[in-house]
Amino acid sequence: MCSKNTKEFYSIYFETNRIICDTCLIKIVLSKKMIPEKCYIFVNAHSCQGNGLKKWNSIREEIFKRLLGTIEIIPDNIDDLKKCLTEILSTRGKSCIISAGGDGSIHQLCNMLLHSGKADNHLIGAIGLGSSNDFLKPFHTFIKDVPVRINLNEPYQLQDVGLVKYIDENNIQKVKYFIINASFGITAEGNWKFNQPDIILKWLKKTNTEFAINYAAISSILGYRNKKMTFGYNDIQKTEFISNINILKTPYVSGSLCYRQNIHPDDGSLGLNICLNMNKTALLHTLLKLEKGIFVTNAKKLSTLVTQFDLKSNIPVIFECDGETEKVYQVKISVIPKAIRILKS
CATH number at 185 reads 2.60.200.40
- Among 223, 240, 250, residue whose Cα is nearest residue 274: 240
pLDDT in tens, 67-88: 999 999 999 999 999 999 999 9
**Are residue 233 and residue 281 in the same domain, yes or no?**
yes
**Are residue 220 and residue 330 in the same domain, yes or no?**
yes
Distance CA 113, CA 300 (A): 38
Predicted confidence at residue 30, as pLDDT, reads 34
Give the torsion through C-alpha atoms of 302, 168, 270, 249, to 10 deg: -120
Predicted confidence at residue 203, as pLDDT, reads 87
**Are residue 15 and residue 146 in the same domain, yes or no?**
yes
pTM confidence score: 0.87
**Are residue 180 and residue 316 in the same domain, yes or no?**
yes
**Are residue 121 and residue 178 in the same domain, yes or no?**
no
Q: Is residue 103 part of a domain?
A: yes
Amino acid at the residue 41: I
Q: Which residues of 121-160 are buried (b: 16+ CB within 10 A; e: fewer)?
A: bbbbbbbbbbbbbbbbeeeeeebeebbbbbbbeeebbebb
Mean pLDDT of 291-298: 95
Distance CA 37, CA 15 (A): 13
Determine contact, residues 110/85, Cβ cutoff 8 Å.
no
**Are residue 245 and residue 302 in the same domain, yes or no?**
yes
Distance CA 85, CA 4 (A): 13
Predicted confidence at residue 33, as pLDDT, reads 66
**Are residue 126 and residue 167 in the same domain, yes or no?**
no
Distance CA 281, CA 286 (A): 9
Predicted confidence at residue 243, as pLDDT, reads 98
Averaged pLDDT score across all residues of the chain = 88
CATH number at residue 149: 3.40.50.10330
What are the contacts of 279-286 at 24+ separation with CB within 8 A? 280/221, 280/222, 280/224, 283/186, 283/221, 283/224, 283/243, 283/244, 284/218, 284/221, 286/244
Determine contact, residues 90/113, Cβ cutoff 8 Å.
no
pLDDT in tens, 136-156: 999 999 999 999 999 998 899
Q: Is residue 344 part of a domain?
A: no
User: Looking at 133, 153, 173, which one is the last position of a domain?
Assistant: 153
Could you tell me which residue, 190 or 214, shows the higher pLDDT?
Answer: 190
Could you tell me which residue, 337 or 4, shows the higher pLDDT?
Answer: 337
Give, as one character, the DSSP assignment of residue 235. T
pLDDT in tens, 200-251: 888 888 788 888 888 888 999 999 999 999 999 999 999 999 999 999 999 9
Whether the CA torsion 241, 247, 253, 257 is positive or negative: it is positive
**Are residue 105 and residue 228 in the same domain, yes or no?**
no
Find the angle CA(250)-CA(280)-CA(242) to the nearest 5 degrees: 55
pLDDT in tens, 29-47: 334 567 778 999 999 999 9
Q: Work out how many domains the chain is built from and give that number.
A: 2
User: Looking at 123, 153, 183, which one is the last position of a domain?
Assistant: 153
DSSP string, 150-174: -B-SS--EEEEEEEEEEEETTS-EE
Weakest-pLDDT range from 22-36, 91-105, 248-262, 301-315: 22-36
**Are residue 187 and residue 333 in the same domain, yes or no?**
yes
Q: Is residue 345 part of a domain?
A: no
**Are residue 45 and residue 149 in the same domain, yes or no?**
yes
**Are residue 243 and residue 121 in the same domain, yes or no?**
no
**Are residue 193 and residue 305 in the same domain, yes or no?**
yes
Q: How many CB atoms lie within 10 A of CB 77?
A: 10
pLDDT band with cut points at 50, 70 and 90 for residue 195: confident
- Secondary structure of residue 41 in the 3-state scheme: strand
Distance CA 97, CA 225 (A): 42
Domain that holds residue 147: 3-153
Predicted confidence at residue 2, as pLDDT, reads 53
